[in-house]
Amino acid sequence: MRDTSRLAAADLLALASLGLRMRRLRAALSALGISIGVAAIVGVLGITQSSQSDLLAQIDRLGTNLLTVQNGRQFNGGEAKLPTAARLMIGHIPAVEHVSATALLTGAVYRSDLVPSYETGGIGVRATDVALLDTLNGRVLHGTFLNAAMANYPATVLGFGAARYLGIDRLDEPTRIWIGRRWFTVVGILEPLPLAPEIDQAALIGWPIAQSALAFDGFPTRIYVWAATDQVGAVDAILGATANPENPEQVAVSRPSDALAARLAVQSSSTTLIIGLGAIALLVGGVGIANVMFVSVLERRSEIGLRRALGATRPQIAAQFLAESLLLSTIGGIIGVAAGTIATAGYATLQGWTILIPPTGWAALIAAIAIGAVAGLYPALRAARLAPTDALRST
């Protein structure tokens, strides 16, 4: 048959855009529904992925080797005493690389002796041995950490949070703070310690000076243990009995990095919820497109009739309306991906994270296009089924 209708692909695209160009506002509004759904999915996935990668990087950087040992917990928020031999005993475990004992003291810390006594700012005083920095894998921001000599004198090292509260951000000039009715010279400020927030908020002093000047009884209350990477579980299992052989059940061993890992899990579950909402928005957007396509087919009956008279086949009419619906959902999806990406990039930049757009986000675009196809299919078939004579029977 030489008389066949042919329609080039490029012409089909022009036809698809014709309907949208003729009713821009309506097209924009119906694409908006898809955009919102895709933007929500891409944005939520991107933001959680970026923050999770930040958390993972943090866990990676901090290591999961750190364990803390406490002798139970007291109701008043203080720390119970551990046996004095605990530190030594733990140090004998072969897989323990570093161990350090600290004790929470009763005294409070003030910027000067003129500050009212109730303004403690939640900063604790801790006696510590000089191995603490190595055990926590921490670093000094300014000055130095305590050494064996300084531990005998009224010298203190501030955690990052404590220094910030006290308004001390440099050590160019000799700086003193008021601890337990005595002046202590600040010799160092630590970098933040995400795995040991209690050290972050503490003023650290040497074990001997604590005993001589602050009436410290010498019992540790919290011991930090840095275990060999592949032995953390094994060390964890025997720490209780080693630290307090008489009452091992009283000893609480925890792994601070678990708290970060738990945050990962919480994020994942809330992400699922928001993705679900995004998917619903996408579906509603699809219903909107189907609605718009039905109206379009109804309004353009005479155009359909005309095109049939000009030689368009039923499949070509269906293709025109299906392509229009696909174009609508694709444009909506692309705008959604762009908006979600911009939101992710903005938020991640604000938080100082690396920007990560997960590949699952692109699946939202594909889903949007698929929804456009499904939404457009029935209206397109209705348009194609329309008899030319009915389509041309005007108004």
Q: Which residues bind another protein (CB under 8 A)?
A: 1-8, 10-11, 18-19, 21-22, 302-303, 305-316, 387-389, 392, 394
Whole-number minimum distance, CB 12 to another protein, in Å? Answer: 10
Query: Given the complex with another protein, which of 366 and 387 has the nearer CB atom?
Result: 387
Answer whether 177's CB lies under 8 Å from 207's CB. no
Nearest approach in angstroms of CB 364 to another protein is 31
- Residue 25 CB, shortest distance to another protein, in Å, is 14
Tokens of 251: 């000893």
CB of 380 to another protein, least distance (A): 16
Which residue's CB is nearer to another protein, number 44 or number 322?
322
The encoded tokens of residue 43 equal 């944005």
Closer Cβ to another protein, 291 or 313, answer by number: 313
| Pairwise CA distance, residues 67 & 242, whole Å | 14
Report which of 229, 235, 139, 236 is spatially closest to residue 190, judged by C-alpha positions: 139
Q: 245 vs 311, which CB is nearer to another protein?
A: 311
* Dist CA 252 CA 71 (whole Å): 6
Smallest gap from residue 316 Cβ to another protein (A): 7
- Residue pair 248/90 in contact (Cβ under 8 Å)? The answer is no
| Residues 172, 15: Cα–Cα separation, whole Å | 74
Q: Which is nearer to another protein, 222 or 308 (CB)?
A: 308
Question: Residue 395 CB, nearest distance to another protein (Å)?
Answer: 9
Measure the CA–CA gap between 46 and 53, rounded to whole angstroms: 10
Nearer of residues 355 and 392 to another protein, judged by Cβ: 392
Q: Nearer to another protein by C-beta: 221 or 320?
A: 320
Residues 6+ apart with CB under 8 A from 40: 274, 277, 278, 281, 340
Please, what's the b/e burial string for 23-50 (b: 16 or more CB within 10 A of its CB; e: otherwise)? Answer: eeeebeebbbbbbbbbbbbbbbbbbbbb
Residue closer to another protein (CB basis): 22 or 85: 22
Residues 6+ positions from 277 with CB-CB distance below 8 Å: 40
Closer of 8 and 265 to another protein (Cβ): 8
- 3-class SS at 261? helix
> How would DSSP label each residue in 157-200?
EE-HHHHHHHT----SS--EEEESSSEEEEEEEEPP-TT-HHHH
- The Cα 375–Cα 83 span in angstroms is 72
- Across 177-202, b (16+ Cβ under 10 Å) vs e yields bbbbeeebebbbbbebbebbebbbbb
Please, what is the minimum distance in Å from the beta carbon of residue 18 to another protein? 5
Least Å distance, CB 306 to another protein, is 4
Distances (CA, A) of 164 to 122, 158, 198, 203, 346: 12, 9, 14, 12, 28
Question: In angstroms, what is the minimal distance from the CB of 11 to another protein?
Answer: 6
C-beta closer to another protein: residue 126 or 307 = 307
User: Per this entry, what is the length of the chain?
Assistant: 395
- As measured in angstroms, the least distance from the Cβ of 266 to another protein is 52
